[in-house]
Amino acid sequence: MSATLQNLARDLAFLRQAVDRTARMPPAIYFLWAVIVGVGGVVVEQRTWAVWYWLGASVVGLLASAYLGWRHGVRMGAVSRERGVRAVLHWGGIVAAVFAATALVWRGQLAVEAVSGVALLLVSLGYYLMGVHEDRWSYVPAVLALGAAVSVTMIPGSWAVAGVACAAGLALMGVLEWTRERRRHV
């Protein structure tokens, strides 16, 4: 009986690994957000149109990520509407929260200097929750975004550096994911 159970446990562990491998973030999405965040970091220094950049980039980035996720699924050979909807709801919720924080600035209830830090905290929370529920590698961008939030709050004018550091982290994640995919298919 115990030998049978050991085999069963081994089989189930193998299956869990296989299932986990179908639920990974496409590398293209990491690269896309590396560009958005990197450019955004520099743009924030030019205050006047930074808000417009971020509002536009977050919506376009969300829609582009949904498309890239779907295309990646078809190319890799696994499509899941449920997973796609869940990802859009997850990140859509974060973008909606960032919009709400921006609205507080317009209403004078949040200082304009604070909104960037709040947005980064929300993004960090988004990645952290993804790490909890989906892919533990998401803790890496969660820590990066948290670090950026702290740095832009504590050190004035550190946006460009924080943006480039986050972009580099996201690009690194993209490269790691891409390498992992290639190794699987070689």
Partner 1 sequence: MSEVAGLSDLDRLLEHRTRLGICVLLSRNDAMTFRLLRDLLDETDGNLGANLSKLEEAGYVVARKEYEDRKPVTWYSLGARGRQQVRAHLAALAALVREAQQEPR
Judged by the rule CB under 8 A, the positions of this chain that interact with partner 1 are 1-2, 5, 8-9, 11-12, 14-15, 18-19, 21-23, 76-83, 184-185
Question: What's the min distance (Å) between Cβ of 1 and partner 1?
Answer: 7
Question: What's the min distance (Å) between Cβ of 88 and partner 1?
Answer: 15
* Termini Cα distance of the chain: 39
Q: 62 and 92 in contact (C-beta within 8 Å)?
A: yes
Of 45, 49, 53, which is closest to residue 98 (Cα–Cα)? 53
Of 160, 162, 168, 167, which is closest to residue 42 (Cα–Cα)? 160
Of 34, 24, 38, which is closest to residue 137 (Cα–Cα)? 24
Q: 113 and 45 in contact (C-beta within 8 Å)?
A: no
Closer residue to partner 1 (CB): 3 or 154: 3
Question: What's the min distance (Å) between Cβ of 15 and partner 1?
Answer: 5
Closer residue to partner 1 (CB): 9 or 112: 9
Question: How far, in Å, CA of 148 to CA of 115, rounded?
Answer: 13
Please name the amino acid found at residue 136.
R
Closer residue to partner 1 (CB): 89 or 155: 89
Question: What's the min distance (Å) between Cβ of 89 and partner 1?
Answer: 17
Closer residue to partner 1 (CB): 12 or 59: 12
Closer residue to partner 1 (CB): 15 or 103: 15
Question: What's the min distance (Å) between Cβ of 9 and partner 1?
Answer: 8
Total residue count of the chain as it appears in this document: 186
Chain-centroid distance of CA 38 in Å reads 14
